[in-house]
Structure 1
Amino acid sequence: MISESKTLMEKINEAKEIALKYPSEAFETASSTYKEARISKAKKEEAASLFVMALACRSMTKLESCYDYAYDAYLKYEELGDQAGIASALNLIGVVYFYNGMYEQSLENFLNARRFATEPDDDAILSRIYNNMGEVYREVGNMEEALAAYEKALYIAEKQDIKRNQAVILLNMGWVCFNQHYLDESFAYYRKSYDMLLELDDVTSLAEVENKIGKIYYLQQDYEQAKRYYMQALERLKAIGNKFYTIEVLINLAEFELRVDEDSFLNYMEEAIKNGEEIQARQYLSRIFNQLSVFYESKGQFDLALNYYKKYHLLEQVIGSTTMSHKLEIIKLELNKLFAGKEMEEIAKMNEHLKNEISTQKKIVEDLEQTNQHLSGEVFYDDLTKLANRKYFTKYLNEFWNDESNADINVALLMIDIDYFKRYNDFHGHIEGDRCLQQVGNCMKTVIEDHGGILGRFGGEEFVGFLKHISQKEFLQIAEELRKSVETMSLLYCWEQHAYPITISVGAAFGQCEQFESKDNMYAIADEELYKAKTTGRNQVKVFAK
C-alpha cells in the first residue's frame, strides 16, 4: 500500500514500484499525484506521474491510454530537458507500437530512446531498450540482430548487476536459440534464467521458463522431465491466478497427452478454452479451435470438426478487425498530438501510415471474400489446408495459358515438397502432421499471394505455386523467401536424438509462356528441378530459366 505520509515524489516512486503487480492501485495513486503536481506547478512530478500512469496502463493492456500518457510524459520531460525521462517515455511508446504489430514505428522509438540514455545512471533504461529492440528483431524474423541486441542488453544488466533484467534477457535469448533449432544452447540460457528467477519474486517469469524447458525435454523425448516442468509451471500460475500464461502450459500438456490419452488431451484443451474465454485471449482460442478441428476431422467426426473450424474462422476475423482498430486508434492519437503541436512533417508521415492501413484493410477484405467462397460450398479448395486444390489450380493455369495475350509474360511454376514429412508425422502423430500441413500451407500462401501469385495443394506434402509479371531476379528472391519462411517457422521433430525443423525443397521453371512447348512441358521441367533439389541435399531451390 502507498503511505500517506510520503512526499509527492516518494509516492510516485512507490506507485512505480507496484505498477506491474498492482497496476490499478498504481494508476490511482499516480492520478492523484498528477493532480497535486499540476496545482503546485511541480513539472518534474507531473511528468513522473504521467509516466507511471502510462506504465500502469501497459500492465492493464490499455494500450491507447498507455500511448496517450506516455506521449504527454515525453513532452513534459522534453520541456524539462530530462534525458533519462525522455528515453523512458520513448521506450514505452515503442512498446505500445510493438504490441500493435507496428514494428517499424516501434524500432524507430527504441532507437530514439537509445540516443537519450547516455549517462551512467541510465544503464537500467538502456538495458531495457536493447532488450525491446531484440523483441522487434525477433518478431520480424531477424534472429541475428535480435541476439546481438539481447547480448548488449545482457552485458549492461550484468555490469550493473540488475538480476531481474538479466533473467528476462536470458529467457529471450533462449527463445531465439530455440527458434533457430539450437536446443542445447537454448536449454543453457533457459536454465541460467531459471536459476536466477528461483531467487527472485517473479513467479510468472519462473513459470514461463519452466514451460519452455518442458518443451525442450518433450522434443528430446524425455517425457518424464517434460511433464514435471509443465506441471510445476501450471501449479505456480494457478497459485497466482495468471490465466494468460496458464493457457500456453495447458496447450503443451494437451499435446503431451495426445500421444497416449485422448481424454486427457481433450480435458486440457477444455480447460485452456475456459481460461481463454474468461480473459478473451483470442489468439490462443483461435489456435485451440484450429487444433480441435483437425483432431475431430482425423476421427471422422466431421460435425464437430466443422463446428470448431467455424469458431476458428470467426475468431480470425475478430482478431483482424481488433488489430486494425487498435492500429487506427494509435494513429488517431498520434495525429491529435501532432496537430496540437503543428508538426506538419510528422502529420504527413502519419497520413502515410493511414494509407498503409487502408491497403492492409483491403487485403483483409479480399482474404475474407476467399474464405467466404470456401464456406459457401466451393469445391475447388482442399479440405485440410483450405488452399486451391489440384482441380482449381489446373483450371486456373489452363485459362491463363489459353489466353494469347499472356504469351510474352514472364511466369514461374513452382513444385514444392515438404522435406522428410514422414519423419515429422511419425514423431508427432497424424493430427499434428495435418496441423503441420496447414501451417506450412498458410505460410507459403502468404508469401506467394503477397507477390500476386496462387498456391495450391496437389496432395500429400506436395504443393504447387504460380507467379506472373516478375523478373528472374525478383522470382529468385521470392523463391528464397518462401524457403526461408518455412524453415524459420520452427516446426521441430526429433530424428536419431537430434532436433530438425520442417523445411521445403523447391523446383521451378521460369520464362515466358511462348518459350515452353506447353504447360505440361513447364510442369515437367519444374518437377525435374524439384527432383534435383531433393537429391542434392533438400532445403533448397533449383530453377530452370528459359
Structure 2
Amino acid sequence: MALAAGMRSSVSQTPSVALSTVDSLKLALKNAKHDTTRCNVLSVLVEAASDQEWPAFNEQLIILSEKNSASSQTPSKKKFYLRHLANALNSKGYFCENQGRVNEALKYYVRSLKIREEVGDKNGIATSLNSIGLIYYNRGQINEALNYYVRSLKIKEEFGDKKGVSNSLSSIASIYEKLGQVKEALDYNARSLKIREKIGDKRGTATSLNNIGVIYRNQGRAKEALDYYGRSLKIWEEIGDQHGIANSFNNIGVIYMKQG
C-alpha cells in the first residue's frame, strides 16, 4: 500500500478488527444524511477497506465530491469537496499505476496536483509531485523526474516534513546515480542519512547506508562499500527485517566473490 496522503495507506489492524471497522463504516455511510458526512466516511473506507472493495468506494467519492465541488455555494464548502476530490483522484492514479495503466495514472496524478495547488494543500502537492516524478523515473525520463522530485523536496522543506525530506533526498540521489553524477549522488544520500539518523528512522537509515554502499561498490571502492553494507546489515538485524538482512548478505557476498 501507499504511505502518502491522498493514497491508500496500510491499515495495521488484525483482520477481525479491520472487518468490524469496515462494517461500521458501511453502516455509517448508509445512514449518513449529508454529503459532507458521506465524503468523510468514504475517505476512511478507501483507506480501511480491502483491495477488492476500496476502488469502488473511491469511485463513489470521486463522483460525490466532483458534483458537490461544482455546486457548492460557499468557498469553505467548495474547498472541502475539492480536497476530497484531489485525494480520490490521486488514489485512482495509484490504482491505475498498480495495474500498469501508467498513462492513465499520470493523468489522474496531474488532475489531483492542479486541484491541490488550487486549494493550497502543501502536503498533497508534495505527494502529487513525487508520484508524477516516480512515473517519469520508471519511464526513464530522468530529467523530468528530477524536476518533480526537486519541487516536492522544496515544499517538504517548507513545512518541516523531515521524513518526507529524507525520502526526497534519497530519490534525487538515485537519479544522480543513474546519471553517473557520483559526487551528487553521495551528497544527497549523505544528507538523507543524516536526517534519518536524527529522527530515528531505522529502516530509512539502513536503506541509506545500503544505497551509499552500492555507489562505492560500483566505483570499485570495496572497502568503503563493505563498511556501509556492514552498518546497514547491523540495523536490519536489530529491527528483524529478513528481506533487508538477505539483501545485505547478498551485497557483501558479491564483493567477496569479486575479490576472489
Q: Bin the TM-score by the shorter chain.
A: 0.7 to 0.9
Larger Rg belongs to: 1
Supply the distance in 2 between the matched residues of 1:278 and 1:248 (Cα, whole angstroms): 14
Name the counterpart of 2:230.
270
More helix by proportion, 1 or 2?
2
Specify which of 115, 127, 142 is matched with residue 168 of structure 1.
127
Gaps of 5+ in 1: 1-19, 21-54, 301-546
More strand by proportion, 1 or 2?
1
Matched, 1:72 2:72: no
Matched, 1:147 2:99: no
Supply the distance in 2 between the matched residues of 1:140 and 1:176 (Cα, whole angstroms): 13
Alignment check: 8 A CA contact 1:106 1:136 kept: no
Supply the distance in 2 between the matched residues of 1:284 and 1:85 (Cα, whole angstroms): 42
Alignment check: 8 A CA contact 1:168 1:205 kept: no
1:363-398 Cα deviation digits (max 9, x unpaired): xxxxxxxxxxxxxxxxxxxxxxxxxxxxxxxxxxxx
Name the counterpart of 2:179.
220
Name the counterpart of 1:122.
81
Specify which of 177, 186, 205 is matched with residue 246 of structure 1.
205
Superposition deviation, residue 82 in structure 1: 4.0
Supply the distance in 1 between the matched residues of 2:19 and 2:205 (Cα, whole angstroms): 28
Specify which of 44, 48, 61 is matched with residue 113 of structure 1.
61
Supply the distance in 2 between the matched residues of 1:68 and 1:256 (Cα, whole angstroms): 47
Supply the distance in 2 between the matched residues of 1:111 and 1:130 (Cα, whole angstroms): 9
Alignment check: 8 A CA contact 1:71 1:93 kept: no
Alignment check: 8 A CA contact 1:207 1:234 kept: yes
Name the counterpart of 2:13.
62
Name the counterpart of 1:48.
none
Give the secondary structure class of the aligned counterpart of 1:198. Answer: helix
What is the one-letter code of the residue matched to 1:62?
Q
Give the secondary structure class of the aligned counterpart of 1:260. Answer: coil
What is the one-letter code of the residue matched to 2:28?
K
Give the secondary structure class of the aligned counterpart of 1:117. Answer: helix
1:71-111 Cα deviation digits (max 9, x unpaired): 4234224312343444344444434568xxx4x54433322
Alignment check: 8 A CA contact 2:96 2:102 kept: yes
Specify which of 143, 153, 157 is matched with residue 184 of structure 1.
143
- CA change 1:270–1:152 in 2 (3 A) is same
Superposition deviation, residue 286 in structure 1: 4.3
What is the one-letter code of the residue matched to 1:108?
A
Matches within 5 A, 1:280-319: 280-300=240-260
Matches within 5 A, 1:418-497: none
Superposition deviation, residue 283 in structure 1: 4.2
- CA change 1:247–1:87 in 2 (3 A) is farther
1:11-54 Cα deviation digits (max 9, x unpaired): xxxxxxxxx9xxxxxxxxxxxxxxxxxxxxxxxxxxxxxxxxxx
Specify which of 16, 26, 39 is matched with residue 87 of structure 1.
39
Give the secondary structure class of the aligned counterpart of 1:201. Answer: coil
Supply the distance in 2 between the matched residues of 1:85 and 1:284 (Cα, whole angstroms): 42
Alignment check: 8 A CA contact 1:84 1:116 kept: no
Q: Which of structures 1 and 2 has the larger relative contact order (alpha carbons within 8 angstroms, sep 6+)? A: 2
Gaps of 5+ in 2: 69-77
1:469-506 Cα deviation digits (max 9, x unpaired): xxxxxxxxxxxxxxxxxxxxxxxxxxxxxxxxxxxxxx
Aligned residue pairs total 240
Superposition deviation, residue 241 in structure 1: 0.8
- Percent pairwise identity: 20
Superposition deviation, residue 131 in structure 1: 1.5
Alignment check: 8 A CA contact 1:70 1:89 kept: no
Name the counterpart of 1:159.
118
Name the counterpart of 1:233.
192
Matched, 1:198 2:157: yes
- CA change 1:93–1:285 in 2 (3 A) is farther
Superposition deviation, residue 296 in structure 1: 4.2
Supply the distance in 2 between the matched residues of 1:108 and 1:295 (Cα, whole angstroms): 49
1:505-532 Cα deviation digits (max 9, x unpaired): xxxxxxxxxxxxxxxxxxxxxxxxxxxx
- CA change 1:111–1:281 in 2 (3 A) is farther
Give the secondary structure class of the aligned counterpart of 1:230. Answer: helix
Alignment check: 8 A CA contact 1:143 1:176 kept: yes
Give the secondary structure class of the aligned counterpart of 2:158. Answer: coil
Superposition deviation, residue 138 in structure 1: 2.3
Superposition deviation, residue 185 in structure 1: 0.4
What is the one-letter code of the residue matched to 2:93?
G
What is the one-letter code of the residue matched to 1:263?
K
- CA change 1:163–1:241 in 2 (3 A) is same
Matches within 5 A, 1:370-385: none
What is the one-letter code of the residue matched to 2:33?
G
Supply the distance in 1 between the matched residues of 2:14 and 2:41 (Cα, whole angstroms): 14
Alignment check: 8 A CA contact 1:171 1:190 kept: yes
Superposition deviation, residue 156 in structure 1: 1.0
What is the root-mean-square deviation of aligned Cα atoms in Å?
2.7
Name the counterpart of 1:364.
none
Supply the distance in 2 between the matched residues of 1:263 and 1:201 (Cα, whole angstroms): 36
Supply the distance in 2 between the matched residues of 1:85 and 1:275 (Cα, whole angstroms): 44
Alignment check: 8 A CA contact 2:90 2:109 kept: yes
Name the counterpart of 1:261.
221
TM normalised by structure 2 equals 0.80
Name the counterpart of 1:333.
none
